Amino acid sequence: MAGMTADSPRQVGANEMAGDAFLRVAHLGKSYRRRGSSDGTEVAVLQDVSLEAKAGEFVTVIGPSGCGKSTLLTCIAGLTEVGDGTIEVDGAAVSGPGPDRAVVFQHASLLPWRTIERNVGYGLELRRDLSRGEIRSRVARMLELVGLGEFAGHYPHEISGGMKQRANLARALVVEPKLVLMDEPFGALDAITKETLQDELAALAGRMRRTTVFITHDIEEAVFLGDKVVVMSPLPGRVAAELPVPFPRPRRREVTAEPEFAALVQRLRGLIQTAIPASQSGEER
């Protein structure tokens, strides 16, 4: 991102040294009671979902609307109770929210009465184990990293939508989570701002190497950002395919002009379209 500096090397954990999965989702199932149902009828949203992510891997997840992508993310975050199966992060079972995971949603949801600096530092304040000076130092470094150093004293209403998402990302990363979970963070932005933030996130991901799960409807975005693309089927959501992305990091915009990029996008589009029943073929992909 604008104003980025090289991030300090991340310590390698035991799981990474052993080559094991850092995130492991095994046979995950989740159902919800059907809206308006008086007899307790449930709808399966996720069924037998299994996927893994290595330490430092950027995994993108795509699929048709309503296939359970966001539910999968909130289950990993510990915000949604799991029905069946298990989720582990760095060998520890997920049973609820925790400081090892940070979530970036589509809408920044910044606190309007706090400056950008104080919004980004909010999670560190809640921990109560750092001094004010330490918090301000860490926040300042993160704001510089995402290109918001000059806007630390501004309030959310004084900055653009793209800047708000930069602040949203900084708020997640400043607590140094083991796993970053992103639910269509650029979905509400205009095309130019979206492309700019994709470029900046790609650069940031290459430097920080945080294990990341990124939900998106945009196939090109999934290929540009991901080390691996997971394709989900329609409801109930299952993993229909996993495709590696062969392009090295640092990932630059020029890669989108490569024939291999277009071929991978087309292959993923075909996998999604094949998975959608004919009765849903007119719905949003």
Q: Confidence band (pLDDT; 50, 70, 90) for 38?
A: low
Q: Give the tokens for residue 112.
A: 């309007």
Average pLDDT, whole number, for the chain? Answer: 87
- The model's pTM is 0.86
Say which residue the tokens 């109770």 belong to. 81
What is the rounded average pLDDT of the residues 227-249? Answer: 94
What is the rounded average pLDDT of the residues 125-138? Answer: 88
What is the rounded average pLDDT of the residues 151-177? Answer: 93
Q: Confidence band (pLDDT; 50, 70, 90) for 261?
A: very high
Q: Where are the domains of the chain?
A: 14-100+208-278
pLDDT of residue 274: 80
Decide: 10 and 209 in contact? Cβ < 8 Å. yes
Phi, psi angles (nearest 5°) of residue 200:
-70, -40
What distance in Å separates the CA atoms of residue 163 and residue 193, rounded to the nearest whole number? 10
pLDDT of residue 205: 84
Q: Confidence band (pLDDT; 50, 70, 90) for 187?
A: confident
- Is 177 or 279 the better-scoring residue by pLDDT? 177
Decide: 150 and 6 in contact? Cβ < 8 Å. no
pLDDT tens column, 74-104: 999 999 999 899 999 999 999 999 989 999 9
Would you say residue 14 has pLDDT above 60?
no
Q: Pairing relation of β-strands 101-104 and 179-183?
A: parallel
pLDDT of residue 134: 92
Decide: 234 and 276 in contact? Cβ < 8 Å. yes
Q: What angle do CA 208, 213, 217 make, to 5 degrees?
A: 120
pLDDT of residue 2: 44
**Range of lowest pLDDT (11-25, 188-202, 241-255):** 11-25
Q: What CATH number belongs to 14-100+208-278? A: 3.40.50.300
pLDDT of residue 39: 65
